[in-house]
Structures are given as structure tokens and as C-alpha cells.
Amino acid sequence: MGISERREREKAEREQRIVGAARMLAEQDGWASVTIRRLAQEIEYSQPVLYAHFENRDAIVGAVALEGFGELAPTLRKSALKGATSRQALEDVATAYLEFAFERPAVYEAMFILPSGLRFAKSDTPHVLRETFGAMMAVVEPLCTDVEIATEAFWATLHGLAELERHGRIRSSHRKERMRHIVDMFAGRHLR
Amino acid sequence: MGISERREREKAEREQRIVGAARMLAEQDGWASVTIRRLAQEIEYSQPVLYAHFENRDAIVGAVALEGFGELAPTLRKSALKGATSRQALEDVATAYLEFAFERPAVYEAMFILPSGLRFAKSDTPHVLRETFGAMMAVVEPLCTDVEIATEAFWATLHGLAELERHGRIRSSHRKERMRHIVDMFAGRHLR
DNA sequence: GTTGACAATCTAGCGCTGGTAGATTTATTT
DNA sequence: AAATAAATCTACCAGCGCTAGATTGTCAAC
């Protein structure tokens, strides 16, 4: 019967509206202003309805984070293709990563800082998470011996840059210079 | 008159008790459990008393953060002295930084992640903050041309390592290898 | 010693939060 | 049409940061 199917479709739509509203509010006024009540108001349902979709507030953050990974992974993949040299590919991916972090700070926060219930580097890690790591690994791979170690280091550096700059700890005015310095190091300017 | 002096002394003591309690609670059960009510209970006063010491909750986080900088800066300075080579000094400082982050996660959080009202890289930046940056700069300096850029990059990398590992994004089991990889890069193994 | 001023401190409250129990409405099946 | 099941809401809980206004305690002047 098509009735239950329609119901499921409607429920999925509503869920998407919740995630969308959370993302919009977070991007607009920060995650602190994303409350269950506010979201309920936004989708025009009462608060308890939200708990039929998500176990708790963290799970909503997690849903936004997952959306974010779904966008970041292909973005990085594409950036990796343009560059002629492997050094250029590395720089392009790094730049794309930081651009993502600065343009969608709230989503980035959900992905990497806030408690979201997402599990990394575990057996049940969602595909998009692995895919994001894989995209970074792909550009690091031709430049080193231990790929995983190097990728973790590369990622950590990018994350640190994004976070310290977002919090005003380092000078936004020197983003480019820092990037060159770092890419030079990772690309192993010394080896070629 | 000694009375008002005694009062000031008592007030300063009480303030220290607040900061100490905040730090302890945060280290024990996380910052979320550090509430004004809980702190008031801890120092055996009513809630409003806390507002005679701190403007708001963030200011308490800031006080803990400042304490943290007061400890991190000399720790890094000392680490910088032991090593025979400049590469060793860099590694020692990096190791000390990460050790600090992992052993006092709550203090580290207050210093670099939570809103704390502290202002970095500004004219009214407290001395201990500048001193912390200076300690890192000192070990980076002999290894590069643009010191400030290199120090920001070094710091960002350490911060990224600390954060990603603390959140289970990268494997704690490979901390040492990552460290070697990174120190090698920053020390410019290629140049000597 | 008593009184009045002032500071220190507390009680009680506001509007908000995440989360839930139980009533009520709506839809489906018999 | 009546009974059952699902969807949804109202109303609440305990706790939060923060504050207004009452209350207590301290000290100086008379």
C-alpha cells in the first residue's frame, strides 16, 4: 500500500527540514542558538516531534556534520584533479579544505568540534567520513612513505590552521604565507 | 587600616577558590558540568556572590585559561633548553605542548577552544599569552626565515594534532610517528 | 549604648534550556 | 459505527545563567 510509503516520504522530508533549519540557524546565529524549541517552531511542530527523528540534540548536530562530509569529500576530490604537479594538488586540496572551513564555519564546527555522536576511525564509520580522509590521503600519497601518518599530520595541520584562525589566535592576513610554508614542507620541496 | 586589606585578601582567596573549583570540576566531569550553582555550592556561598568576582561564566573560563598559560609558557621554555640540537629543542617543545594538552584537557579547552573573553594578538593581550607564543617562536627561529609565519604554522600543527586526537579523529597509537614526521618537516631535515 | 549608613550576602525569581509523561486528536481496521 | 493504533500536542520536570530586592552583618557617629 502506498499510504505507509507516503508517510515515510513525509517523515524523511520533515527530517530534512529539521536538519536544514539547524544548519541555517547555526550558520546564522551560532550553534548555541540552535535549540529544540526553536527548530520545532521553524518546522511548525511541537518539540516532542523532533525526538521521533533524533535521539537528542547531539544527533541533530551529527546529521548536519554528515551532510558536511557529504559535501567536503567531493570538493576535495575535485580539487585534487586540477593541479598539474603533485605539489599543486596538495596545495589545491589544502586551500579547498580551509575555504570550506571558513565559508561554512557552523558546519565545520559540527563536523570536527562539537559532540555529534559520529565515530571516526572505527568499524562503523560512515562512508562519507572515510571518503573525506581518502581524498586527503590521495594527494599526500605520492609525496611520502607512510601515507596514513602523513595524512593524519596533513589533516591536523589544516585543522589547526582553521581553528586558530577562526578563533583569532593567528593572523588572517597571513593565511597565504602560512599555506605556502606548509605546503612546501609537506610537498618535500627538499626532495626534488 | 588593616581591615579593608584583610577583606581584599579574603576576596582574593575566595576568587582563587572559585577558579580552582572550576578547574577541578572541568577536569573531572567536563566544562558542561561547571555551572555557577555548582561552583557556589563548592565554595559554600550563594550564586550571586560569584558575580562579584566574575562578570559571567565565560570570565571564569578565562581565569582558568590564564592560569593555564601561566603554566604552559614556562613549561615550553624549560623544554626548549634541554635539547642539544635545534631539532631536538623543537621536538622537546612539541612533545611538551602535546603532553600539556593531553594531561590537562579541560585547561587546554579553556585556553584554546571555549569562549573565554581572552584576546589574542591584540594590544591588550596579557603577557602570559605573548610569552607562550614567544616560547614556541624561540625554537622555530633558528630553523626558518620568516619566524612568525613558521611559528603560527608550527602552533597550528600542534593544536590540530591535539584536537583531532582528543576527539578520536586520528589514532592515539601513532602519536610518536606523527610527531617524528612533523618535527622532521619543521626542522628541515632536508637542509642539513 | 543606640542609631543610622553602608556593605556583604541571601532568597526568590525570570526566562530560558533539553527532555519526557500522559492526554488528545487523527487515521485505520474490524 | 466501534475499536484499535498511530501521530501529535499540552503540560510538565529539573536545571541553567543571571538579577532584583529583601535581609543580615559591620562599623562609625552621636
CB contact under 8 A, A153 and B159: no
CA distances from B124 to A35, B61, B66, B120 (A): 35, 18, 14, 8
The model's pLDDT over B112-139, given as tens digits with 9 standing for 90+, comes to: 999 998 877 677 678 999 999 999 999 9
Gap between the Cα atoms of B136 and B144, Å rounded: 13
A161 to chain B, closest Cα gap in Å = 5
Query: Scanning every residue of chain B, which has its alpha carbon at the shortest distance from the alpha carbon of A116?
Result: B167
- Is the pLDDT at A56 greater than 70, yes or no? yes
Cβ proximity of B97 and B133 under 8 Å: no
CB contact under 8 A, A188 and B190: yes
Q: Which residue has the higher pLDDT, B16 or B189?
A: B16
Gap between the Cα atoms of B108 and B158, Å rounded: 12
CB contact under 8 A, A149 and B178: yes
Give me the pLDDT at residue B3, please: 64
DSSP letter at B6 equals: H
CB contact under 8 A, B156 and A167: no
pLDDT band at B4 (very low <50, low <70, confident <90, very high): low
- Is the pLDDT at B172 greater than 80, yes or no? yes
Give me the pLDDT at residue A143, please: 86
- Is the pLDDT at A161 greater than 60, yes or no? yes
Nucleotide nearest to B46 (CA to C1'): C10
- Is the pLDDT at A190 greater than 70, yes or no? no
Q: Which of B109, B115, B102, B85 is nearest to B25 (CA)?
A: B109
Contacts of residue B167 in chain A, CB cutoff 8 Å?
Answer: 112-113, 120
- Is the pLDDT at B84 greater than 60, yes or no? yes
Work out the average pLDDT over B83-106: 97
Gap between the Cα atoms of B73 and B166, Å rounded: 21
Cβ proximity of B189 and A190 under 8 Å: yes
Q: Which residue has the higher pLDDT, B165 or B144?
A: B165
CB contact under 8 A, A185 and B181: no
Gap between the Cα atoms of B163 and B75, Å rounded: 20
pLDDT-wise least confident of A3-7, A113-117, B1-5, B75-79: B1-5
Over chain A, what is the mean pLDDT?
Answer: 93
Gap between the Cα atoms of B58 and B56, Å rounded: 6
Please report which helix (H) or strand (E) contains residue B78, including its range.
Answer: helix B57-82
Give me the pLDDT at residue A48, please: 97
Chain C: bases < 7 Å from a protein Cβ: 8-13, 16-22, 27-29
Give me the pLDDT at residue A52, please: 96
The angle that helices A86-103 and A175-187 make with each other, rounded to 10 degrees, is 140
Is strand C within 7 Å of residue B37 (CB)?
no
Residue A7: half-sphere exposure toward Cβ, Cα within 13 Å: 4
The model's pLDDT over A113-154, given as tens digits with 9 standing for 90+, comes to: 999 988 776 776 789 999 999 999 999 999 888 999 999 999
Is strand C within 7 Å of residue A47 (CB)?
yes
DSSP letter at B83 equals: -
The model's pLDDT over B58-76, given as tens digits with 9 standing for 90+, comes to: 999 999 999 999 999 999 9
Work out the average pLDDT over B97-104: 98
Over chain B, what is the mean pLDDT?
Answer: 92
Is strand C within 7 Å of residue A48 (CB)?
yes
Is strand C within 7 Å of residue A57 (CB)?
yes
Gap between the Cα atoms of B93 and B79, Å rounded: 5
Give me the pLDDT at residue B121, please: 66
The whole-number Å distance from B100's CA to C26's C1' is 59
pLDDT band at A59 (very low <50, low <70, confident <90, very high): very high
In degrees, rounded to 5, the angle at the alpha carbon of residue B135 between the alpha carbons of residues A186 and B17 is: 120
Contacts of residue A153 in chain B, CB cutoff 8 Å?
Answer: 157, 161, 178, 181-182, 185
The CATH code of domain A1-54 reads 1.10.10
Give me the pLDDT at residue B9, please: 83
The model's pLDDT over A171-183, given as tens digits with 9 standing for 90+, comes to: 999 999 999 999 9
Query: Scanning every residue of chain A, which has its alpha carbon at the shortest distance from the alpha carbon of B132?
Result: A169
**Residue B141 backbone dihedrals phi, psi, to 5 degrees:** -50, -50
Q: Which of B15, B65, B23 is nearest to B45 (CA)?
A: B15
Query: Scanning every residue of chain A, which has its alpha carbon at the shortest distance from the alpha carbon of B109?
Result: A113
Cβ proximity of A160 and B161 under 8 Å: yes
Q: Which of A166, A173, A170 is nearest to B125 (CA)?
A: A170
Give me the pLDDT at residue B189, please: 62
Query: Scanning every residue of chain B, which has its alpha carbon at the shortest distance from the alpha carbon of A192?
Result: B190
CB contact under 8 A, A174 and B148: yes
Among chain B residues 14 through 43, which have CB within 7 angstroms of nucleic chain D? Answer: 34-38
* In chain A, domain spans: 1-54, 57-191
Nucleotide nearest to A1 (CA to C1'): C28
User: Between chain A and chain B, how many beta carbons pairs sit less than 8 Å apart?
Assistant: 121
Residue type, position A165, single letter = E
A42 to chain B, closest Cα gap in Å = 27
Contacts of residue B161 in chain A, CB cutoff 8 Å?
Answer: 153, 156, 160
Cβ proximity of B178 and B170 under 8 Å: yes
Classified by CATH at the fold level, domain B57-191 comes out as Tetracycline Repressor; domain 2 (1.10.357)
